[in-house]
Amino acid sequence: MLLVLLGAACADQSPPPSAPFIIVLGIAQDAGYPQAGCRRACCRAAWDDPARRRHVVSLAVVNPQTSQRWLLDASPDLPQQLHELDRVTPVSDGPGIDGIFLTHGHVGHYTGLMHLGREVMGTHGVPVHVMPRMRMFLTGSGPWSQLVALGNIDLTTMEEGTAVVLGPGLRITPFLVPHRDEYTETVGFRIDGPSRSVLYLPDIDKWERWDVAIEELLEEVDVAYLDGSFFDGEELPGRDMSQIPHPFVVDSMRRWAELPEATRARVRFLHMNHTNPLLDPDSDASRAVREAGFRVARQGERVDL
């Protein structure tokens, strides 16, 4: 698989202003931030101050030359995310979605599809790129099967390691990762543009349980958006930490501490749980991440490809 993923990454030249780009539409775990029913300190400020709220994780890939826009994951916050995307890159009419790439069948990553149905936008044939089990999941039961039956979405099955070409010099390649796969398999995406490459991997089990060395991928890309669901075990008192199926940020930072500075700087954590202090840029945890040479993804940030 690595051979397929190898590409012309890490180019030195800066992309021109007309280059395709990625924009981060959300950085929170599936539940969003603040989380339903949470009255604790982690969410209190965000309930009181809407400016502190964050959308569920999703990226958009935009080609300004053709006014095309693709979504990576369809989050429950899709209405607001589409609106914010319109502000950055307006389209003349229609939903302006040229395709959606889904990572897996957990609620934060596909339920935004409901806004494409007849009760909302009633779209026509929006290409939705899925892995085989995800396809079965969507066609197997309502309300998702109705989107297919009515032609609101047009499912396209992806193959691991095989790129989907979006245009000249722009492609997206899925790769399988271990995760709690109750309904579907789980993939991450590698996005290759004319000058730069980006990794999008919001959900994965512990790094040790993957048969790919994440460090090798970090050498190949320019920016890596990686699972930062939990900062450390302190967030979940009373839970057996070995049973939490995500890499803790502190463990990831320890694992990568000896990597070159330039490699560490590519890492941007996202998919933060509501308990995660990285949601607050001024927290001690956010400072510790910066001081260790890593970064935390911020909603609205952009990477030129």
Residues that bind Zn ion (CB under 5 A): 30, 35, 38, 42-43, 106, 108, 203, 274
Task: Closer to Zn ion by CB, 194 or 245: give it.
Answer: 245
Cα 120 to chain centroid, rounded: 24
Q: Where are the beta strands (DSSP E) in the chain?
A: 21-26, 58-63, 68-72, 99-101, 126-130, 153-157, 164-167, 170-176, 187-192, 197-201, 223-227, 267-270, 295-296, 302-304
Shortest approach of Zn ion to residue 150 CB, angstroms? Answer: 27
Q: Cis before residue 34, ω within 30 degrees of 0?
A: yes
Min dist. Cβ of residue 30 to Zn ion (A):
4
43 vs 191, beta carbon nearer Zn ion: 43
Min CB(303)–Zn ion separation in Å: 21
Cβ nearer to Zn ion, comparing 10 with 38: 38
Query: Measuring CA to CA, which residue among 217, 205, 211, 227 is closest to residue 272?
Result: 227
Residue 236: CB atoms within 10 Å: 14
Q: Are 299 and 46 in contact (CB under 8 A)?
A: no
Of the pair 121, 201, the CB lying nearest Zn ion is at 201
Smallest gap from residue 204 Cβ to Zn ion (A): 9
Instruction: For 152-166, give the DSSP string.
Output: SEEEEE--TTPPEEE
Q: Kindly list the distances between the CA atom of residue 112 and the CA atoms of 39, 122, 144, 250, 301, in Å, as whole numbers in the listed order.
A: 25, 13, 11, 31, 21
- Asked, as a colleague might, if the bond just before 20 is cis with ω within 30 of 0, I would say no
Residue (274 or 295) nearer to Zn ion, CB: 274
Q: How far is the CB of 273 from Zn ion (least distance, A)?
A: 8
Which residue type does 101 have?
F
- Cβ–Cβ < 8 Å for 56, 78: no
C-beta closer to Zn ion: residue 35 or 139: 35
Residue type, 175: F
Tell me how far, at minimum, the Cβ of 293 lies from Zn ion, in Å.
Answer: 25
Closest to Zn ion by CB, 135 vs 196, is: 135
- The whole-angstrom separation of Cα 193 and Cα 178 is 26
Taking the complex as a whole, how short is the minimal distance between the CB of residue 182 and Zn ion, in angstroms?
Answer: 9
Number of other CB atoms surrounding residue 115 within 10 Å: 19
Closest distance of CB 275 from Zn ion, Å: 6
Q: Bridge partners of 197? A: 192
Give whichever of 3 and 36 is closer to Zn ion, judged by the CB atom.
Answer: 36
